[in-house]
């Protein structure tokens, strides 16, 4: 069975589940998106790494990476290999001294590690065909979601200096989700 490479294309607050986030993966070279509902902590861990922020204290996934690197373990890839009753199953494929091991993991944790190790994320056709959606449908849904984001409207009224101060305050308070949104607003302005 051929693996299909995925890339992260979005991370936003879930309108369907309180306190949850939608992590959106896209097939490389294709039009399908794979939305996965994840917890706030994992969303924060992924966003911090994607935005290249440095938390004041290492997060769990950073600790895992430091531990793995210290013992010469590399993460080769993450594979989302199953979907049962709406739950995605993933494995982390690791290597140490030529020996390859698969480690079962929650998909959100596996992806948080994938971004830290800069390794590819894969899935299979069976998962994309059952849980994937076409990008046109997804973009319509994302447009609706963005219209309801009131925090982003607040950021649009802030000056660049206010945004930079707010980012530092958010990082100091370990509110990495807010810091990520503030960084997005600064990046929009160029």
pTM over 0.85: no
Strand-pair partners of 87 = 84
Can you give the pLDDT of all 190 residues of the chain as single tens digits? 799 999 999 888 766 666 788 899 999 998 899 999 998 889 888 988 988 888 888 889 999 999 999 999 999 999 999 999 889 999 999 999 999 999 999 999 999 999 999 999 999 999 999 888 887 655 555 554 444 345 556 777 778 888 888 888 888 777 777 787 788 777 777 7
Q: Where in the chain is the domain with CATH 3.10.690.10?
A: 3-148
Proportion of the chain in helix, strand, coil states, percent, rounded to 5: 45, 35, 20
Domain 3-148 listed as CATH 3.30.300.30: no
């Amino acid at each position: 069975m051929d693996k299909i490479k995925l890339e992260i294309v979005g991370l936003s607050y879930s309108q369907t589940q309180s306190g949850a986030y939608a992590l959106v993966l896209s097939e490389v070279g294709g039009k399908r998106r794979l939305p996965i509902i994840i917890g706030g902590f994992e969303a924060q861990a992924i966003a911090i790494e994607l935005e290249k922020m440095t938390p004041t204290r290492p997060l769990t996934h950073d600790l895992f990476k430091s531990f793995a690197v210290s013992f010469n373990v590399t993460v080769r890839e993450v594979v989302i290999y199953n979907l049962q009753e709406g739950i995605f199953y993933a494995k982390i494929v690791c290597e140490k001294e030529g020996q390859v091991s698969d480690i079962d993991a929650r998909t959100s944790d596996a992806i948080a590690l994938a971004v830290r190790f800069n390794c590819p994320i894969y899935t299979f056709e069976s998962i994309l065909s059952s849980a994937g959606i076409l990008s046109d449908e997804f973009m319509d849904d994302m447009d609706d979601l963005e219209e309801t984001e009131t925090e982003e409207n607040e950021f649009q009224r802030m000056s660049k200096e206010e945004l930079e101060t707010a980012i530092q305050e958010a990082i100091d308070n370990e509110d990495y989700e807010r810091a990520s949104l503030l960084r997005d607003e600064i990046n929009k302005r160029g």
